[in-house]
Amino acid sequence: MKRMLVTTVAVTAGALFVACPPALPQAPTTGTPQVSGAADADMTDVRVNLVKAALQLTPDQEKLWPAVEDAIRARAKNRQERVANAAARINELRDRTPIEILRDRDPIDFMHRRADALAQRSADLKKLADAWQPLYSTLSPDQKRRMAFLAVFVLRELRSGMEQRMLMSEDYE
């Protein structure tokens, strides 16, 4: 009973950490909210530690964890790079008029950039799935339930975060 209570508290506390978006400093000169690389790395650390704590891995399972953690960190790093590149492109357009932006717009270049970003996301997700597969096959039914809870919760929070970012970007325009 005590172990179940500890597990429930750990998962709930961890879910709250995952749900809390990183602080966004005000950026009135550029009009875009930014998250520092350090804050992003800190949030990745929290998320990695949360998942590991929620799963309560056995010693045999611990041996499979480093591949999962590496895949999580690589995916987060690549996402941060994509966000930084997009922010740089947006900042380049800040001093231009809408007419100038439309006149110089290259839809083929846009499609190439989008395809490259999607290919990177696909490769990262495949690497993550491949890393999880051996560990997931060793999880107990209880561990699988905790993982499913975290996955559903995180997906819901990602959707909410995306909606919040869209609203914030509209506020800055």
Tens of pLDDT, residues 96-121:
888 888 887 888 998 998 999 999 99
Half-sphere exposure of 126 (CA within 13 A, CB side): 6
Determine the structural domain holding residue 95 and report its residue range: 2-172
What mean pLDDT comes out for the span 128-153? 93
Bigger pLDDT: 150 vs 156 = 150
Average pLDDT taken over every residue of the chain? 79
Task: Pick 52 or 25 by higher pLDDT.
Answer: 52
Asked if residue 36 has pLDDT above 80, the reply is: no
Instruction: Report yes or no: 51 and 38 within 8 Å, Cβ to Cβ.
Output: no
What's the confidence (pLDDT) of residue 32?
Answer: 42
Residue 105 phi, psi dihedral angles, 5° rounding: -70, 135
* Local confidence band at 144 (pLDDT 50, 70, 90 cut-offs): very high
| Number of structural domains in the chain | 1
Residue 135 has pLDDT above 60, yes or no: yes
* Nearest Cα residue to 165 out of 14, 17, 22, 18: 22
Q: What count of Cα atoms within 13 Å lies in the side-chain half-sphere of residue 36?
A: 6
